[in-house]
Chains A and B, each alone.
Chain A
Amino acid sequence: MGRLNRDAVIAIVLLMACGILFWSTFSIRAPDYGQLKPSTWPRVVLGVLTLLSTIYLVQSLRRGPAPEDEADKDGDGPPRTPGLIGWILYWRNPLWCFGLFFAYLATLPVLGSLIGGVLFVFTLMGVLGGWSARNLVQHAALALISVGGMWVIFTYGLGVILPPGEIFSPF
């Protein structure tokens, strides 16, 4: 990437986002009343953000391809091996968390918060902690007790109607 370090790339992404959002402020309708148009404040904020992103870009370019990119990485664990596989292996736990939470939300209308929640916590613990027989029992118990307990508190204690899903509400 030549002189582009990670910070410079972030600054460019921010500037592009500012450009897109600034352009979209022109589609905000302005009423006939009120001194401050609805688009004024977002434009002020975007102007400031654009200025700051430009300063950030200049700072990053001046620094050049710096070893700081590596220094910023999470301090725990062994260093990351290069390449896409290395990147996936290094970030596998957060990626699992994101992926499983995404799956939980995507299946929420079908499974509901109780079944979906128990499955989410059980699967997440499995992928993070391992699938040994002892773990399976422990994780299943923890998932049932924690999500089940919270479901009971919210449903019966606080009167919140949590998503029942299609399995629990077939009618």
Chain B
Amino acid sequence: MILENIVAAFGEIGTIETLGLMLVGVAGGLIAGAIPGFTIAMAVVLTLPFTFGMPAPQGLAIMVSVLVGGLSGGLMAGILTGIPGTPSSVATTFDGFPMARKGQPGLALGIGVWSSFSGGMISAVLLVTLAPQLARIGLEFNPWDYFMLVIFALTITASLSGRNLVKGLIAGAVGLLVRTVGEDEAVGMARFNFGNDALLQGFDFIAVLIGLFAFSQLLRDVRDPESAKKSLTERGTIHAKIEHRAAIREVAKRWTVVLRSALIGVFTGILPGAGGSIANILAYDQAKKASKYPEKFGTGIADGIIAPESSNNAVEGGALIVLMALGIPGDVTAAVMLGALLIHDVVPSPTFIAEEPVLAYSIFIAFFVATFMMLGLQSFMLRIFVLVTKIRMYMLAGIILGFCGIGVFAINNVEFDLWTLLWFGILGFVMRQFGFPLAPMILGVVLGNIAELNLARAMAITTDISPFFTRPWSLFFLIVAIFSAAYPLFQAHRAKRKWTLFYMPAACFAVSVPLVMMGGIPRPILATLVAAFGAYELWRRARNGWQLAETQGDEIVEDG
């Protein structure tokens, strides 16, 4: 059955036309990822208008290609100019740039490319094997569980995406509110249209995404008139030839770093709200802690390039696992992918892989194929990158804004969508300036109707609200949401207030309750292990006389 699906999926995307378009997609992603200020999500979202007229497998394969290319493109700028192309490659510059400055730019690039490839492949394998398993768990979810899952996704995104949790939660709530404009999906009544017929259809989700993310980002990039006139070439030397053989040797020697970092990447991708910007720093930090020579990190060593590059390429595999298995996007890029699926009338849910196996396997295969294409294209794209970096920032911004003005119209052939793009571009720009993170808002827009529909379904079954607190999965997500909401407070007060000593044990004990309630054999065993870990943590703190400084060795990761 699986083999049949794989063959059918190959038939869908194995055409010359699709492979050619995928190649263009990977190349475009590599360039977009390499340009500082142009994020991967921006590249993927701008690809959407091109794909809506294509068959779903072809359109999605191209978007996956842009995504894979973008994930790897950031390393070129990071290593050669010291300016990370995307937030996902910030840690790559820590050792990549010093290695290039020491006269080994080709080796640094080679290590980055092969680490990206390895991380991508590990993540692709896990995507193929884990997504169907997670989808099986997802079949257990009822409307109450789904509603709480959305609340959890929004809460954790808000807590991870900025310094101020309240601002993050406000952004998420504004996103939910934006989605309520227009006719409601359950009974079709007009809401917040204020007599305007154009608003009856609501704001187009893709126009909102492009406005919030791409439009507002471009305005930030050109804010300073002097910086806007500069090109990348004024900031560093960018001539190099990738040394593949030496790089393969270096990466193979450090396969444990590759594996650990890729797993960190996949796990971070699975966690809603935590994307490549967190994964690359976390993997770098772990590689440094596990290293026999941590003092050499930052001076231009291979480990310092391998860890972030393996992890950031593995992130999207993780985010796609959750998207394809549960229909919940793990990050902004996955939210855009969800938009692409919706454009093709495909609604991801736990039954998605079972009901649309060819499409699902097309995405899996596209991920594999695009990773190989990325490897082959890097050397060639390096030359194009040199040319692109001669273009000044304001020119790129002008061209892309011009594209937005055409591409957004093409989605629905409605002029109102262009106005939506403008207003949400302004809103996104203002929100960024006032310190509101955009990721929770985007997830709010994406998940708003999922939350409402599931709430409506739950209320249609019974008006009793107790299942939200008594059903195991619903309770599980509620508990995790509460602890993730409290996490920024915990971070701010740790090693200062006594209550922070109880945060981790309390979280373990609380999570173990719904796990026990789920029944069966593995989950109660897991609950026991989690509770035992909580008890151990509590005992460890008691043994140290409830010393506050004792917890400082734990991980703290925050997306700046």
Kindly list chain B residues whose C-beta atoms are within 8 Å of the C-beta of A124: 394, 397-398, 401-402
Q: Does B53 contact A (CB under 8 A)?
A: yes
**Contact B394–A117 (Cβ < 8 Å):** no
**Contact A162–B410 (Cβ < 8 Å):** yes
How far, in angstroms, from A170 to B435 measured CA to CA in the complex?
Answer: 48
Q: Does A1 contact B (CB under 8 A)?
A: no
- Which residues of B are at the interface with A, using a C-beta cutoff of 8 A? 49-50, 53, 166-167, 169-170, 173-174, 176-177, 180, 184, 186-187, 189-192, 194, 218-220, 222-229, 392, 394-395, 397-399, 401-403, 405-407, 409-410, 413, 415, 418-419, 422, 425-426, 429, 433-435, 451-452, 455-456, 459-460, 463
**Contact A72–B434 (Cβ < 8 Å):** yes
- Nearest B residue to A102 via CB reads B422
**Contact A45–B406 (Cβ < 8 Å):** no
Q: Does A137 contact B (CB under 8 A)?
A: no
Kindly list chain A residues whose C-beta atoms are within 8 Å of the C-beta of B394: 93, 124-125, 128-129
**Contact B192–A24 (Cβ < 8 Å):** yes
**Contact A41–B401 (Cβ < 8 Å):** no
List 16 additional A-B contacts (Cβ < 8 Å) besides A36-B456, A108-B415, A113-B405: A29-B190, A30-B189, A31-B187, A34-B456, A36-B460, A41-B455, A76-B227, A98-B426, A104-B405, A109-B415, A124-B398, A128-B225, A130-B229, A147-B406, A150-B407, A160-B53
**Contact B187–A34 (Cβ < 8 Å):** yes
How far, in angstroms, from A56 to B282 measured CA to CA in the complex?
Answer: 30
**Contact A14–B402 (Cβ < 8 Å):** no
Kindly list chain B residues whose C-beta atoms are within 8 Å of the C-beta of A104: 405
A72-B434, A77-B226 are contacts. A121–B398 as well, Cβ < 8 Å? yes
A171 to chain B, nearest CB (A): 20
6 tightest A-B contacts by CB?
A77-B224, A76-B224, A128-B394, A38-B189, A121-B402, A35-B459
**Contact B452–A41 (Cβ < 8 Å):** yes
B50 to chain A, nearest CB (A): 7
How far, in angstroms, from A171 to B289 measured CA to CA in the complex?
Answer: 72
How far, in angstroms, from A24 to B181 measured CA to CA in the complex?
Answer: 12
21 sampled A-B residue pairs with Cβ under 8 A? A21-B177, A24-B192, A25-B191, A28-B189, A34-B187, A36-B456, A49-B170, A56-B167, A72-B435, A73-B433, A92-B225, A101-B422, A105-B418, A105-B419, A113-B409, A120-B402, A121-B402, A124-B398, A125-B395, A142-B398, A146-B402
Q: Does A153 contact B (CB under 8 A)?
A: yes
A157 to chain B, nearest CB (A): 9
**Contact A74–B191 (Cβ < 8 Å):** no
**Contact B406–A33 (Cβ < 8 Å):** no
Q: Does A133 contact B (CB under 8 A)?
A: no
**Contact B395–A14 (Cβ < 8 Å):** no
Kindly list chain B residues whose C-beta atoms are within 8 Å of the C-beta of A160: 53, 409-410, 413
**Contact A93–B186 (Cβ < 8 Å):** no
How far, in angstroms, from A29 to B193 measured CA to CA in the complex?
Answer: 12
**Contact A72–B433 (Cβ < 8 Å):** yes
How far, in angstroms, from A67 to B167 measured CA to CA in the complex?
Answer: 18
**Contact A59–B166 (Cβ < 8 Å):** yes
Interface of A is mostly: helix
Partner of A39, one of B191, B410, B413: B191
**Contact B191–A146 (Cβ < 8 Å):** no
Q: Does A94 contact B (CB under 8 A)?
A: yes
A29-B190, A33-B187, A142-B399 are contacts. A49–B173 as well, Cβ < 8 Å? yes
A21-B177, A38-B187, A97-B218 are contacts. A128–B460 as well, Cβ < 8 Å? no
A36-B456, A125-B398, A128-B397 are contacts. A97–B190 as well, Cβ < 8 Å? no
**Contact A150–B403 (Cβ < 8 Å):** yes
**Contact B434–A6 (Cβ < 8 Å):** yes
A2 to chain B, nearest CB (A): 20
How far, in angstroms, from A28 to B407 measured CA to CA in the complex?
Answer: 33
**Contact A128–B402 (Cβ < 8 Å):** no
A150-B402, A154-B406 are contacts. A56–B170 as well, Cβ < 8 Å? yes
How far, in angstroms, from A25 to B459 measured CA to CA in the complex?
Answer: 20
**Contact A42–B192 (Cβ < 8 Å):** yes
Q: Does A55 contact B (CB under 8 A)?
A: yes
A108 to chain B, nearest CB (A): 6
**Contact A158–B410 (Cβ < 8 Å):** yes
Contact with B along A143-171 (1 / 0, CB 8 A): 10011001101100011111100000000
Contact with B along A59-93 (1 / 0, CB 8 A): 10000000000001110110000000000000111
How far, in angstroms, from A162 to B459 measured CA to CA in the complex?
Answer: 43
**Contact A45–B223 (Cβ < 8 Å):** no
B219 to chain A, nearest CB (A): 4
- Nearest A residue to B181 via CB reads A42
Q: Does A10 contact B (CB under 8 A)?
A: yes
How far, in angstroms, from A24 to B191 measured CA to CA in the complex?
Answer: 9
- Nearest A residue to B54 via CB reads A158
Partner of B186, one of A36, A139, A143: A36
Which of B224, B227, B394, B407 gathers the greatest number of chain A CB atoms within 10 Å?
B394
Q: Does A52 contact B (CB under 8 A)?
A: yes
**Contact A93–B228 (Cβ < 8 Å):** yes
How far, in angstroms, from A164 to B123 measured CA to CA in the complex?
Answer: 46
Which of B180, B192, B409, B426 gathers the greatest number of chain A CB atoms within 10 Å?
B180
**Contact B189–A31 (Cβ < 8 Å):** yes
**Contact A77–B177 (Cβ < 8 Å):** no
Q: Does A48 contact B (CB under 8 A)?
A: yes
How far, in angstroms, from A116 to B434 measured CA to CA in the complex?
Answer: 32
Which of A93, A146, A151 gathers the greatest number of chain B CB atoms within 10 Å?
A93
- Nearest B residue to A44 via CB reads B455
How far, in angstroms, from A98 to B191 measured CA to CA in the complex?
Answer: 28
- Nearest B residue to A43 via CB reads B180
Kindly list chain A residues whose C-beta atoms are within 8 Å of the C-beta of B229: 128-130
**Contact B220–A74 (Cβ < 8 Å):** yes
Q: Does A46 contact B (CB under 8 A)?
A: yes
**Contact B434–A150 (Cβ < 8 Å):** no
A116 to chain B, nearest CB (A): 8
**Contact B415–A163 (Cβ < 8 Å):** yes
**Contact A52–B223 (Cβ < 8 Å):** no
How far, in angstroms, from A164 to B388 measured CA to CA in the complex?
Answer: 31
Partner of B406, one of A6, A42, A59, A151: A151
